[in-house]
Structure 1
Amino acid sequence: MTVFHLADEGEAADLAAFLSRLLHYDRGAAVRLQAAGTALAVFGRPPSFEVLAVRAVRLAKPYEKGLEVTLDVTVSAGEFLETVDEKAGTALVPGAVTGPPWAGVLPPRGDWRSEPGLPAPDALRSLVAAVVAEFRSRTQELPAELRTRAELDRIGADIWSRTVGDTRLPVRAVHAAQSLGFLRPGVPLGLLSSGAWLRLRTPYGSIAVRRAGLGALDVSVR
Structure 2
Amino acid sequence: MTVLHLADEGEAADLAAFLSRLLHYDRGAAVRLQAAGTALAVFGRPPSFEVLAIRAVRLAKPYEDGLDVTLDVTVSAGELLESVDEHAATAGVPTAVTGPPWAGVLPPRGGWQVVAGLPAPDALRGMVGAGVAEFRSRTQELAPESRTRAELDRVGREIWSRTVGETELPVRAVHAAQSLGFLRGGGELALLSCGAWLRLRTPYGSIAVRRAGLGALGVSVR
Report the alpha carbon displacement of residue 116 of structure 1 after superposing the two structures with TM: 0.5
Contact 1:36 1:67 in 2 (8 A): no
1-side partners of 2:214 and 2:80: how far apart?
34
Q: Report 1:50-89 matches (<5 A).
A: 50-65=50-65, 69-89=69-89
1-side partners of 2:147 and 2:205: how far apart?
35
Q: Report 1:187-202 matches (<5 A).
A: 187-202=187-202
177-186 or 23-32, which moves further after superposition? Answer: 177-186
Report the alpha carbon displacement of residue 212 of structure 1 after superposing the two structures with TM: 2.6
Q: Report 1:141-152 matches (<5 A).
A: 141-152=141-152
Unaligned runs of 5+ in 1: 218-222
1-side partners of 2:171 and 2:140: how far apart?
21
Letter in 1 for 2:22: L
Contact 1:124 1:174 in 2 (8 A): yes
2-side partners of 1:213 and 1:46: how far apart?
14
1-side partners of 2:179 and 2:66: how far apart?
34
Letter in 1 for 2:79: E
208-217 or 27-36, which moves further after superposition? Answer: 208-217
Count of matched residue positions in the alignment of Structure 1 and Structure 2: 217
Contact 1:9 1:89 in 2 (8 A): yes
Contact 2:64 2:70 in 1 (8 A): no
Unaligned runs of 5+ in 2: 218-222
Contact 1:163 1:170 in 2 (8 A): yes
Flag the 1:67–1:35 CA change in 2: closer, same or farther, 3 A.
Answer: farther
Secondary structure, counterpart of 2:139 in structure 1: helix
1-side partners of 2:66 and 2:185: how far apart?
37
Flag the 1:61–1:160 CA change in 2: closer, same or farther, 3 A.
Answer: same
Contact 1:37 1:67 in 2 (8 A): no
Report the alpha carbon displacement of residue 63 of structure 1 after superposing the two structures with TM: 2.4
Secondary structure, counterpart of 2:102 in structure 1: helix
Specify the alignment match of 1:16 in structure 2: 16
Report the alpha carbon displacement of residue 203 of structure 1 after superposing the two structures with TM: 1.1
Give CA-to-partner distance per residue, 1:1-42, whole Å, 9 cap, x none: 211111111110000000000000000000000000100000
Specify the alignment match of 1:220 in structure 2: none
2-side partners of 1:202 and 1:37: how far apart?
22
1-side partners of 2:87 and 2:181: how far apart?
21
2-side partners of 1:209 and 1:21: how far apart?
19
Specify the alignment match of 1:167 in structure 2: 167
Letter in 2 for 1:142: L
User: Which structure 1 residue ranges, 4+ long, deviate > 3 Å from structure 2?
Assistant: 213-217
Q: Please tell me the root mean square deviation across aligned C-alpha atoms, in Å.
A: 1.7
Flag the 1:196–1:67 CA change in 2: closer, same or farther, 3 A.
Answer: farther
TM-score w.r.t. length of structure 2: 0.94
2-side partners of 1:176 and 1:44: how far apart?
11
Letter in 2 for 1:38: T
2-side partners of 1:3 and 1:183: how far apart?
29
Flag the 1:127–1:67 CA change in 2: closer, same or farther, 3 A.
Answer: farther
Contact 1:3 1:91 in 2 (8 A): yes
1-side partners of 2:59 and 2:209: how far apart?
26
TM-score w.r.t. length of structure 1: 0.94
2-side partners of 1:216 and 1:121: how far apart?
30
Give CA-to-partner distance per residue, 1:107-159, whole Å, 9 cap, x none: 01110000000000011011111111110111111010100011101101100
Letter in 1 for 2:177: A
